[in-house]
Structure 1
């Protein structure tokens, strides 16, 4: 699991000091960028050198509790599945010991030349596979 922290800043909140939910999406993109950097594939190198983009195909968020200006957000990113060109992740975002929101997120590797999906290159696939969380044998959802 990849974890990181982000502050919830004044500009991320509405006038009441509660997180403005579209700001969460902008922050989440930064977390995804940091995740790929931690794998050895910074977005700049992926886009400039490899000509690979990773647009979001699906994003399903569930809000559980409000975030407030000044909160330190704890992001946990779990890799749940890797397809030919897709990557399925689950995010859990907490602050003050409380889960604020969760998300199921799918991105797809695409060619920046053709804008069509492409298979993950072997080195990126290997790095992603290293983070793949396997379901437990006793998990009834398996």
Structure 2
């Protein structure tokens, strides 16, 4: 199973040539992950941070396949590609434009990696392929 989200390419995403400025893709990948956590896992970033936890991105790999232009709408897909004890790697794609792998780490209140909580791990497993 994969999580899906659509994002419209707006003026704020583009460079003077009218195509997506590549760092904006990193923001969109993070947005897909953040919304996945809220909508599929049921644990929004705001709640996570308020409770003293975190899930920072430790690694981000991106392949840019084709430019996106102002006015395009990209259909994003996220699946859990790898699930470890304290980390997970998400495969995040947007149509034929971009393929990204974001590795995140669960951080406990003491800012150290910790095992996935019982309310998160099964949700990740449902999206693991």
The yes-or-no answer on 1:107 pairing with 2:107 is no
Q: Which runs of 5+ in 1 are unaligned?
A: 134-142
1:27: Cα distance to partner?
1.6
Q: When the two structures are superposed, what TM-score results if normalisation uses the length of structure 1?
A: 0.85
Q: Given the alignment of the two structures, is residue 132 of structure 1 paired with residue 125 of structure 2, yes or no?
A: no
For structure 2, the 5+ residue unaligned runs are none
Show the counterpart of 1:68: 69
Number of matched pairs = 127
2-side partners of 1:121 and 1:104: how far apart? 22
Structure 1 segment 41-60 matched on structure 2, within 5 A: 41-49=43-51, 51-60=52-61
Match of 1:40 in 2: 42
Verify the 8 A CA contact 2:29 2:100 in the aligned structure 1: no
Which whole-Å deviations, capped at 9, do the CAs of 1:67-112 have from their partners, x for residues lacking one?
1011101101011111111011111112xxxx0110111100012x
Structure index of larger Rg = 1
**Aligned residue in 2 for 1:136:** none
Larger RCO, structures 1/2 (Cα 8 Å, 6+ apart): 2
| Distance across 2 between alignment mates of 1:52 and 1:84 | 16
Give the distance between the partners of 1:72 and 1:129, measured in 2 at CA: 29
